Structure 1
Amino acid sequence: MKNEKVVFLTWKKFACLNDYRKPTLFALDLLKQFPHSNFVVDARNGFEDDKEDVEWGFSELLPNISKTDCEYVAFIMPETEDIQDEMDMWTKEFGKYFAVVKAKSFEQALSKINDRILVNVKYAVIPGKRDEFLEKVVENDIITASRAEPGNYKYEYYKPVDSEDILFLMEIWVSNKAQTLHSKTEHYQRLQSLKKEYVTNVTIEKYSISAIV
């Protein structure tokens, strides 16, 4: 769908083997053919849960999709959520490579892809301790774990050129809910402990933004 810049895959019913793999490989080819496209999957009428196909999807399909410049994957879920456990499994796996959103309609999926939450954080660090603080953040796997969350789009620290004791963090999340879930993770709590040890003041700015172009 060129105007929306998405590859849209609709499942009419549960599928397996070639009935599952052919449409997904076709979607992969479209993602390669049309740069800067995101992936929307309508799973309201079925999806896939054959063990061999799941293993193929995790080991072959997703790594190949990750080689495209697709950034977002949106799942349109059934109202009754009959396949919630199955979709949670796929959402978690997709989240290793992409920012993932769930929606109840195609229009809502597009809205969630295009609207994001930007959080700018400014840390005032104990003089002379900025590099040590950042090293501890890395050692505690806070950056990697935050980027691996399905709802994360960007998580990056920056050092300003005009100060040795200030550190900036830019976060972009797919939704307020994703950002809230981030605050409940173990790695977020590890960051809070480090802040008590190294940071004297924190300033936070939060914005709702449209898709980055």
Structure 2
Amino acid sequence: MAITVNIYYSGINGNAKKFAKEMVSSGIVGNILAENGNLKYEYFFPMNDEETVLLIDSWEDQHSIDVHHASPMMAKITELREKYDLHMRVERYVSDEAGISETDRSFIKE
């Protein structure tokens, strides 16, 4: 059962993109990707909102997320969020163990 957390970071003056770029350039993202249980940690930029960045953060299980949240890395992330004065909106999803249905697969080109 994978858990995916979508975090929408919003700011002003391009700060959300600056935050994401610094997360990557500082090596924090690479360190998170190397953590046990991390499946994905990737930023996306919505086309209709220049001041928001979407982080898709996926983990094998809740324990992996808890270990990540207890790590010293979280202080660095919090510091960067404060540096760029970002606000967050969070969505959380648990994977469907049954997978993609055959009906839905008919719409997917692989």
Q: TM-score range by the shorter chain?
A: 0.7 to 0.9
Question: Which residue identity does 1:127 align to in structure 2?
Answer: N
| Other-structure match for 1:178 | 64
Deviations 1:127-151 (A, max 9, x none): 2323322221123211101110111
| Other-structure match for 2:18 | 132
| Other-structure match for 1:192 | 78
| Other-structure match for 1:162 | 48
1:201 deviation in Å?
1.2
2:76 is the counterpart of 1:202: no
What are the residue-to-residue correspondences of 1:37-48 with 2, within 5 Å? none
In structure 1, distance between residues paired with 2:63 and 2:85 = 26
The runs of 5 or more residues in structure 1 that have no matched partner are 1-114
In structure 2, distance between residues paired with 1:200 and 1:155 = 18
Deviations 1:74-106 (A, max 9, x none): xxxxxxxxxxxxxxxxxxxxxxxxxxxxxxxxx
2:6 is the counterpart of 1:123: no
Larger radius of gyration: 1
In structure 2, distance between residues paired with 1:200 and 1:153 = 24
1:180 deviation in Å?
0.9
The runs of 5 or more residues in structure 2 that have no matched partner are 101-110
In structure 2, distance between residues paired with 1:151 and 1:140 = 21
Instruction: Give the total of aligned pairs.
Output: 99
The secondary structure found in structure 1 opposite 2:17 is helix
Contact 2:37 / 2:59 at 8 angstroms: preserved in 1?
yes
1:184 deviation in Å?
1.7
Contact 2:3 / 2:92 at 8 angstroms: preserved in 1?
yes
**Structure 1 length-normalised TM:** 0.43
2:38 is the counterpart of 1:152: yes
4+ long deviations beyond 3 Å: none
What are the residue-to-residue correspondences of 1:86-97 with 2, within 5 Å? none
Contact 1:140 / 1:190 at 8 angstroms: preserved in 2?
no
Relative contact order: is structure 1 or structure 2 higher (C-alpha 8 Å, sep ≥ 6)?
Answer: 2
Q: Indicate the RMSD between aligned Cα atoms, in angstroms.
A: 1.6
In structure 2, distance between residues paired with 1:141 and 1:127 = 23
Percent identity of paired positions between Structure 1 and Structure 2: 26
Q: 1:200 to 1:134 in 2, by over 3 A?
A: closer
